[in-house]
Structures are given as C-alpha cells and as structure tokens.
Amino acid sequence: MTTRPVSVCLTFDHLGAALDVRLGRASSPDSRRHDLSIGFPRLLGLLDEVGAPATFFCEGWSALHHPQAIRALLARGHDVGLHGWVHERWTELSRVERRRILFDGVAALRLAGVDRPSFRAPGGLLVDDDPDLLAEVGITEDSSIPAGAATRTVPALLNGSGLVNVPFVWPAVDYWAYQLNPDDPATPDDLPHRWRALLDQARQRDDRLLVLVVHPGVSGSPDAEFAAVQRVVREFAACPDVQFRTIASIAAQYRGKQAIPDPGPRPAVDVPDWFAARDDPPEPPSGDDPDGWLRYLVGRGLVSPDAGPRSVLVGGVSASVVRVGPVVVKRPRRRLDVPFDWQAGTNRIFAEATAMRLASGLAPAVLHVDELHQVLVQRFEQGTPWKAQLLAGRVDQAIVGQVAEALRAIRLLPTDGIDGADRFHRLRLDPYFWWVAKRHPQLRPALASVVDRLASTRTHVVHGDLSPKNLLVDSHGPDPRVVVLDWEVAHVGDPVFDLAFLLSHLFAKSVHRPAAAADLARAAAVVRAVDPDADEKWVRQLTGALLIARTHGKSRLEYLTAESFTRLDTVGRALLLDATWPDERTFW
C-alpha cells in the first residue's frame, strides 16, 4: 500500500522595509537592506536547488515599491500573497481599516502581476469578520490562524464564499521559535531537530500537512540561521515521502475533496463609466472558449470578426492553446495538467516569445504578447505533429533530415536575451530527475550527477522540449518543412540535452512500434550525427536518464504498455548507470 506523501508548504513572510515604515524607522525603499540583498537571494537559491515551490506573503507597500521583486518570484514559479500594508498590528485594527488595507494591498499586488493573491494576517492571527472582507476583495486562500484554532493543522472552509484556510502552528515559525517561545527558545543548532519533529508529527496525522513560516530577515541574512533553514530544506527534499506544495495548491486539493467549486472570476472593480476608454480591448476568457478568444483578438485588431476555423488544440499540458483562424493563442498554466502537483511561473510566456523571435523562420512568428494577461499570440502553421506519424509507424527519412537540420539550427542561435536556468530547473531538472531520485534512492547518485552536469553547462541555446509532438511537419510542398513549437523551456545550457531528448523519444517509439524499429534506428543515427563530437558516454547516460524520467517522472509517456514500460525502464537504467545497452544491441 502506497503512503500518501507529506505536503510541506514553505512560506516566507515580509519583503523589504514595510515594517520599518510603520515603526517610523524608514520612509523609502532600500534595496541594500540585508533581507533583500542577502536573505532573499540565499533563500531563492535554496528553493531553486531543491526545486521547491513556495508561497511568499508580502506587504502591499513593498509590492508597490518592489514590483520587479514580485515578478521575479512569479517567474520562478512561486505564489505570492498579501501580508498587510506595512505589517500592522492586525487584530487591533477596526473593520474599516482592515478593509482599506485589503483593497489597497490587493491592488498593489495586481499591479505587480499577482492576479489572485492569497493572504496571511500580519502577526498571524485572523479577526472573526476577516473571511467576509477577504471574500469581498477576491481572496480565496488564507494561511493565518483563525480565532480559537491555534492548534488546528487541517485546512478548513471559513465561509460560504469558498475561502479556504491552510493554517500554521507557532512552533513552525522561525521568529517565534527564536524570540517568542517563552519556555524554550530555539537556537540555530536545534531548530532543524525541532522542525524534523514537526515533520514526524505530520506523518502521524491524517492531514499529513506541515506549513513552515520563514522570515528572510530572520533566517535568510544571518549565517547561522540560514544554515539551519538550509539544512531543514535539504533534509526534507531528500525524504521520499515529502512533497513541497504551495498554499494555493493545498487549498485547491481541499476544494476538490470537499466538492467545493473552484473560485469564480475575481470581483470586478467598481468604477464610473467614464474611467474606461470606450475602445478598451476585452480581457481574455477565463477558459479555452474559442469564441471568447475571438472577441479578445478582434478587440486588438489581430483577426477579423469572421475568423475561422476556431478550435482548442490538443496537447496543452503546460498551456491553454486555442486556434482562431490564422493565429494561435497560448496562455500558460500555473499548475500543469498532469496527475501530480507540478507548478511553474506563468511569466515563462515572455521568455518563450523572446526565444521564438530569435528563432525566426524555425518557430512560428510571434504576432502579439499581452504582458498584463500573460498571453502569446503566434501565427498558425499548417502541418501535423511528427509524433502522429511515428506512432503510426511511418518514418519518412526526408522528414528525419529536416528534423536534424532543425536540431543543428537551434544550436547556432544567438544566446542574446535567453537565460532560463530557473525555468529549466522548474520544468525539467526537478520534475524529470529529482522527482525520480527521491522515489528511487538507488538511482539518486547517477541522477544527481546528470543534474549537476546539466546545471553547470551553459554554452548553447537549448530548446528543452524537442520531442516529436513539438515538431510540426508540413508535407504539402515539394520538400517537407519542419516548424519547431513550444519554446517555453528554451535556455542557455548543454546542447546534448536536445540531442538526448530526441533520441529518447525515437527509442521509445521503436519499442512501441517494433515493426518500425529499424527505420527509427536509422533516424536516430541521422540525429546523432548532428553532433559527432559529443561524448558518447554522456549522450547515453543522459538518454537513459530521460527514459527513466518518461517512465517514472511527472511527465510520463502516455502510450506505453506494461511490456514497453518494462523495456524502457531496463534500457534507461543500463544507459544511466553503465552507459551500455543491456542486450548489446545499440540503437544508433
């Protein structure tokens, strides 16, 4: 019987000088503060290292003065919530004052790009009528301690509007443990022991949930305190039964279990008619409705009102993708559409647009980028995914040649404006390799070596998702034409990743379609010849790691049978661990 994982929510309170502004010690932002210049970079680096999503509760004043910091958190795949305006004494405020702060704070966060923030009360304690006020401003997740519930650890619905409370307990707060614990204050040496005990307690409870509260000024800047949190996070990341989650994902899971409808659209802002220009374009639809996207595009002059055909395109694991006549609209999902909790920042759409523009002629043309709503509009390209042909057992060597040319062209792209190390970690290293390493300890050293090499090599533009489903083949002309789709994982890294990624897919198809195995092996040889100087041992090890990832990771091949799964697992382990083919039959 499989034991449910323990969900650990890493949460961080405070950003910048907001508290000092309330106390009269500051009146303006200062990026040189130790919590901003030392604490945040350290903590973000730690989260990147273990691939953990987190929830940051920031004051509205800080969001107003540091919008770039909020956007950086979102781009890394983290959630952002509100933590008062200047960290007020929340329980001492009147209802009118709390309502004003909520409206002001939510407005500041939305200006910085947070569409639907969560909330944690400054000081941690909710007032009895807060749930109604939070619902009024469209907040649907809270991580405070409600009145009379200081020891509750399970999520709960606080009112009829869908506000889900995901509480914490005081011993899980670094500042409380160090400064406010009246009986036994913690030290940096024993904090990891205490938080390990909290994890063990969570393992014994039905909710299997632990919410940790870290303050960048307390546990990010001082060396000893940071070392304590670093030790905790690394140890928890190494536990096979620990899964890092955001507050919003826990709330969404609770709603699903309780059959509570997902929150509706955020409340409209009440403004006089004359505030809005009559030609303001419409906002995008909340879902995949092609007619809603038609209105959005017509309002921006990108298509005509009669544009067609209109349809939702398949394969949208990481994004909503809709065709409207001559264009395709793409909006990234924060939570990817897989059976596991896999989250990534929606700001990755901007990096994708940058990469596509650099790859002009190889990728669809970028027609429009909506920064406010994080929408990419690109030209619709004729063709069918190469994956469909390969799964049907058809291997056209002329198309193989074009695919090899596309792989070669990607390697020659300029690296200007492309970094993407964080996105590569969030979308590949963590869900593909660290996820497996946690659950298969015998593979952890080899997978850790693969991750280290990939993370430390930054020489070429890498597509990062060069699979047959993202290679669109147009065979209507005298020669086949290949267009490369989905550039959201594009980054500067090791070019062998794209090579091995493609080889792993070709091998998987050969196992799935044995009758086409010889043709697929010839295709693999052509692809491999794109980089004849690549270290063969490294190519094999990385291909093996990718085969294991596609059988045991978060993004698994959907067409495998039990027999083909076993074959890929066997070959993947042999290549990863020994760089050898298990039956002495090489594929390329």
- β-bridge partners, 401: none
Three state DSSP letters for 120-177:
CCCCCECCCCHHHHHHHCCCCEECCECCCCCCCCCCEECCCCCCEECCCCHHHEHHHH
SS3 content of the chain, % helix, strand, coil (to 5): 45, 15, 40
Contact 207/6 with Cβ under 8 angstroms?
A: no
Query: Predicted confidence band at 11 (pLDDT cuts at 50, 70, 90)?
Result: very high
Which SS3 state, helix, strand or coil, does residue 574 take?
A: helix
Q: Rounded to two decimals, what is the model's pTM?
A: 0.61
Instruction: Evaluate if residue 588 carries a pLDDT over 70.
Output: yes
Query: Whose CA is closest to 318, among 486, 498, 75?
Result: 486
- φ/ψ (deg, to 5) at 50: -100, -5
pLDDT at 584: 62
Instruction: Evaluate if residue 317 carries a pLDDT over 80.
Output: no
Rounded Cα distance, 293 and 284, in Å: 6
Rounded Cα distance, 562 and 288, in Å: 34
Which SS3 state, helix, strand or coil, does residue 292 take?
A: helix
- What is the chain's alpha carbon radius of gyration, rounded to the nearest angstrom? 25
Instruction: Evaluate if residue 485 carries a pLDDT over 90.
Output: yes
pLDDT 10s digits, 375-431: 999 999 999 999 999 999 999 999 999 999 999 999 999 987 787 887 888 889 988
Residue 151 burial by CB count (10 A; 0-12/13-18/19+): exposed, middle or buried? exposed
pLDDT 10s digits, 493-516: 999 999 999 999 999 999 999 999
Residue type, 322: V
- Supply the DSSP symbol for 38: I
pLDDT at 3: 67
Report the share of the chain in percent with pLDDT over 70.
93
pLDDT 10s digits, 541-587: 999 999 999 999 888 888 999 999 999 999 999 999 998 988 766 78
Instruction: Evaluate if residue 133 carries a pLDDT over 80.
Output: yes
Instruction: Evaluate if residue 67 carries a pLDDT over 50.
Output: yes
Instruction: Evaluate if residue 13 carries a pLDDT over 90.
Output: yes
pLDDT 10s digits, 213-253: 999 999 999 999 999 999 999 999 999 899 999 999 999 88
Six token digits for residue 282: 């419409």
Name the packing angle between helices 536-552 and 562-578 (round to 10°).
Answer: 140
Instruction: Evaluate if residue 210 carries a pLDDT over 50.
Output: yes
Rounded Cα distance, 55 and 7, in Å: 13
pLDDT at 159: 75
pLDDT 10s digits, 19-53: 999 999 988 988 888 888 899 999 999 998 888 99
Rounded Cα distance, 202 and 169, in Å: 12
pLDDT at 576: 96
User: Cα separations (Å) of 56 from 40, 139, 217, 425?
Assistant: 11, 15, 13, 19
pLDDT at 267: 61
473 phi-psi bin (left φ>0, alpha ψ -120 to 50, beta other): beta
pLDDT at 1: 40
Rounded Cα distance, 176 and 190, in Å: 14
pLDDT at 279: 57
pLDDT at 256: 82
pLDDT at 273: 61
Report the share of the chain in percent with pLDDT over 90.
68
pLDDT 10s digits, 69-95: 998 898 888 999 999 999 999 999 999
Six token digits for residue 100: 């004003």
Rounded Cα distance, 29 and 512, in Å: 59
Residue type, 239: C
Domains (ranges, CATH) in the chain? 6-255 (3.20.20.370), 290-379 (3.30.200.20), 384-578 (3.90.1200.10)
Instruction: Evaluate if residue 524 carries a pLDDT over 70.
Output: yes
Rounded Cα distance, 144 and 165, in Å: 7
